[in-house]
Structure formats: C-alpha cells, structure tokens
Structure 1
Amino acid sequence: MSLAIAPARTAAARIDTTRTPLRSAPAPAGTAPVGPSPEAPVAAPRVRAVPEGTEARGFVLYVGIDESKADADGTTLHRIVEALRALTGEIAPSAETYAAVALAPAGAGGRDVDVVRLALQDPAALAKQRDAGETRNDADRHPNGVIIDISRKRVLLDGEPAGLTYKEFELLQFLVLREGRTIDRHELIENLWSAEDEVPSERTIDVHVRRLRSKLAHYQDIVRTVRGIGYRFDRHADVSIRQASTPSPDLY
C-alpha cells in the first residue's frame, strides 16, 4: 500500500531542521540601543537534495503490509489509509492526499515494501530491478546454478531444464514463495492437493519431495528437511528466482 501526499517531484528528499540565526550589525560607538533588540528572523526549514530550478511539492510514503498482516494487527488497509489521511489533515489542513493499493500475484514472495515500490513504479526500485535484470541476462548467456522462473513455470539447472512435473513445480514454488519458513506436510496437502479427489497422506508428500530433490541433482539441498516438522526452501548464492509483479489500479 502506498500513500502519496501531493505530487512528488523528488525522491528521498529530507527536511533540514538546522537553522542559522541572522546577526544584526553592532551599534555605532557612543550610542545606546533604543528599546528591546528585535529577534533575528529564523530561516524556514528547507528541503535538501532538491535540484536547482525545482521545488518540493509533496512526498510519497510507501507502506508495505498485506491484508493478512493487517488483520493480525487488528486493522485493515482501508483503516490505515484513513488514519494517515486524518493525521495529514490535522497537521496540514491544506495538503491534498492520494492513495493507491499495490497488487502482486497471490503468494508472491519478497519484502512487501519492495513489491509496493515496484508496482507503483518507484524510479529507484525500477532502476535496481533493471540492474538486477542485466546481471541475470549475463547469467543466461553463461548459465550457472539454479534459475527458478515462476513466471514461466520452469527450473533451469546450469542452463538445462530440470524436467519437473506440474505438481513438482507447484511444490517447489509453494516453498520458494515462503522462503525461510518451515512448511509442515499438512499445509502442503491443504494448499496443493485439497481440490483433488484423492488426498495424499503425509508419507506420500515425502515421496513427492524426494522426487523433486532428485531432479534438482546437486542443488537438492535448497529444499531442506526439518526433522519432525516439514520442509523449507533456503536460497543459496547460486539460486536466482524470477517472477513478475502486477501494476496496481487505484482502489482508494
């Protein structure tokens, strides 16, 4: 979710709260000051990092939180937006506000705030993604390691297709999108097999994971077994994950 307060002309502008007092000229010798000395005017706070010839017209605040996290905090995205709007109106009644919700594919991984910045076309985030894309393109020309391409539903091992079945890819994708979290067998069954006529047992899940790991060959340790609990995906330096984000419509 992102709240934009007035049009933003610059990114990462900071308010400089340091003030330099203006000093009055000393009185000529032999004269006494008349009345109390007026206070020197104080310079207004200025916005730093604004290029010459431009002016700050507002700012953008990116808020990274999904609906489930908001619910766990006892609130909703709409209530957060309205609270921020109310606070802005209290502090600066003349400010204009505009808010938009950033959407991404269901279950998409990554930090919420990074997804928001990309979906709302933040220039710095787009530049970072572009640089990362150029690095990945170099890796495609000289492929090494694992490429998990969620958008194309494929896995490459050192440039060669891993040959996963649809269900094996679904299983890997489910773990990848929950990177670093241990997923128990019951959660895998509930999310990947609940719509099927025959629901597998937990032992069957172990068989599916074993087949998946065998196809990952010498990279099989990216899918780790957590004894007595379930499975976890751990990203290594030689693992690249690709997925597309969806631009958001204006919902608020």
Structure 2
Amino acid sequence: MSLAHIDTARSIQAARLDRPVSPTPAAPRIRAVPDGPQARGFVLYVGIDEATAAAAGTSLSRIVEALKALTGSIAPTAETHAAVALAPAGAGGRDVDVVRLALQDPTALARQRNATEDPDRAPGGVVVDISRKRVHLDGETAALTYKEFELLQYLVLREGRTIERAELIAKLWNASDDEDAPNERTIDVHVRRLRAKLGRYEDIVRTVRGVGYRFDRHADVSIRQSSTPSPDVF
C-alpha cells in the first residue's frame, strides 16, 4: 500500500473518531406529564354496583382485593387506598360517571360547574336545551327532527324512570299526526334514529329490555330547563 493510501485511511479513521455520536432516542412516554409536577400515582375509577358484581359471580370487596394484590405483585412498595362511591338509589347515568362525581373527580366537577355557571355557553358533552328545543353535542347543534326531540324531551323530564312504549305512543302521537298509526316498532325506529344522531352519547337513551326506554344522565350531560315547566307535548 502506498504512503498516500495510508495517509488517506488514517484521515478517514480520524474523522470517524471525531464525529459526535448521536444520542439514543428516548423511549416514548405513554402519557405526557406536565413539566414541573411529579407523577405520584393514579386513580382508576371502576363503575359497577353490587348487583352487577354479584351477577358476574363476584363482589366489590373481591374486586378491590384483586386489584390491590395485582398492584402489590407488580410494585411491592406501592401503597393503595380504596374508596367506595355512594350515590342515591336510582341515580341516572353510567356507573363510572356517577362514581367520578361522587368521588369529586376534578374533570367531572368542572364540566358540571361550567354548564351551571354559564347557561349561554355550549360546552363539550351533551346539552339538552328544553327552553329552546335543541340539543348541542360538543358545542354543535344536533339535527334532530321535531318528533325526535319530542321523544328525547319526554324521557329527559322523567329522568331515571323507565317509560313503556305504550306510554310513549299515547303521549307523543295523536290522530292529527301525518304518520301512519304508530306501534311499538314505530318507537324503536325513532329511538334508533335519535341514537344515531346522538353519536358517541347514544347511551343516554337506554333500552330496558322487555319494558321500554329510560334517560340516563352522564357526568357530561346537562339539562337547561325553561323558566316555567315545559309541556310534554309542544
């Protein structure tokens, strides 16, 4: 090998040694934690009542003990604390949302407070405006028909009570309607269309198998009443 080749090889090797080494990219964070505060733990809300747990062959205490045991097996030094959420019997809404409100979850409380303090604001979630006959979904007005809103309003004004299909027919349909004589199938079709327009909030109208339908208020649902009681049929 000539001296020129040797000098060239040495120059290339020196350049490689002087080149800065790229740092190894950091592993992506599963969930961002704001700079400054330090994550000290987490809260897991579990929505289930004793009857549902019993139907699954377990109980609330057994679920709690299983979760505590799992935490201990993964992180033996971790401390745990369990709290049971209490709510009035028959409280409407998804179990997990009732739990969040009962245990003072900041996000759920803030959403409820905003809907109460600023009635002209259309916040995220669902706003059923009885006074103006409209429904807002995440700030956008839902394109409900007259009959769809009438059906939703009837359920909303009887929150937590299961309404039979026969009652809905008797109260919301009359001889002057242009539609054919309604039956239970008519109610089911209208409810299906209503749910489709409610999108991801469709389960505020809950089916009670073999009976009828019920309105369940979630943590992200607010109702705006008129200054005087709204009529059932308008």
Shorter-chain TM band = 0.3 to 0.5
TM-score normalised per structure 1: 0.43
* TM-score where L is the length of structure 2: 0.46
| Max Rg structure | 2
